[in-house]
Amino acid sequence: MSESKVAIITGGARGIGKAIAETLARRGCDIIVADINLELAEATAKEIAAATHQKTLAIQVNVSDSASANAMVERTLAEFGKVDILVNNAGLTRDKLIMRMDEADWDIVLDVNLKGAFNCSKAVVRPMMKQRYGRIVNISSVSGQAGQTGQANYSASKAGLIGLTKALARELASRQITVNAVAPGFVLTALTQDLSDELKDAILKATPLGRMGKPEEIAYAVAFLASDEASYITGQVLAVDGGMVMM
C-alpha cells in the first residue's frame, strides 16, 4: 500500500477499530483515529505513531451528527490534503428483547451504526470523487446477515449497512471509488469478554472453526479491501466469522 494513503477509522480508539488503524499504519497509511472518546483516541494515535512512524491524528467525532462528521473530514483535509480510505467502524449495542426495547434503544443504535456511516460516507465522497480514487469499508456483522435474538436494533442497523454498501458501490464506481463491507462474527474484545459462559459456549458451537475471532483478523480483511489489490472488488460483503454464516 502506498505511503501516501490517508485513512480515517471511526471508532478507532479501541477494539476492532484500533486493530484496523494499527494494521493500516503498518501497511504505510497515515491514520486518523476518530472516536467519541478523544482522550482514548489520542492515546491510540500516539501509540500507533510510535510503533509505525506513520503520521497520526486523533479527532473527536460524533458520527451520528452530520456537522461533526463534516468537521472530521475538513480537519483531515486541512492536515493531510486528502482522504483515501474511510472505515466506518463506529458502533454500539443496546441489546434487549423487542418487548423490552424502548424507542431510545432503537434510535441510538440506528443513529450511530447506520446514520453514522451515511454521515461519514457523505462527508468523504466529494474529495474522493475529485481525486477519482477512494476506498470505503463498512463494518457490518453476522447479526446483519442472519439476525440475532435480542438485537432487533443492532441487526437492523448492520443489515442496513449492507444495503448502504451496495447502493454506494453503484453510485461511486464511475469515479474509481470502491465500497465494500466486512461482516465479523464474534470477536474477542472488551465488549465480548463480559458475555456469559453459556452464551460463549453457544457461539463456539455455532462457529465451524470452533473459536472466536481476533481483532487483527478483521483488520486484515479491511486492509485487503482498502488496498489497490482489491481495485476490482466493490459492493461485496466479506464474512470473517469462522464459518458461522455461509451465504
- In three-state secondary structure terms, 39 is helix
Residue ranges with strand state E in 83-234: 85-88, 134-139, 177-184
Residue 133 annotated among the catalytic residues of the structure: no
Examine the pLDDT at 128 and tell me if it is beyond 50.
yes
Distance of CA 233 to CAs 135, 137, 139, 169, Å?
Answer: 10, 11, 16, 10
Tell me the per-residue pLDDT of 182-233, one tens digit each, with 9 for 90 and over. 999 999 887 677 677 887 888 899 999 999 999 999 999 999 999 999 999 9
Supply the pTM of this predicted model: 0.95
Beta bridge partners of 181: 138, 237
Examine the pLDDT at 110 and tell me if it is beyond 80.
yes
Tell me the per-residue pLDDT of 133-166, one tens digit each, with 9 for 90 and over. 999 999 999 999 998 888 999 999 999 999 999 9
Examine the pLDDT at 1 and tell me if it is beyond 60.
no
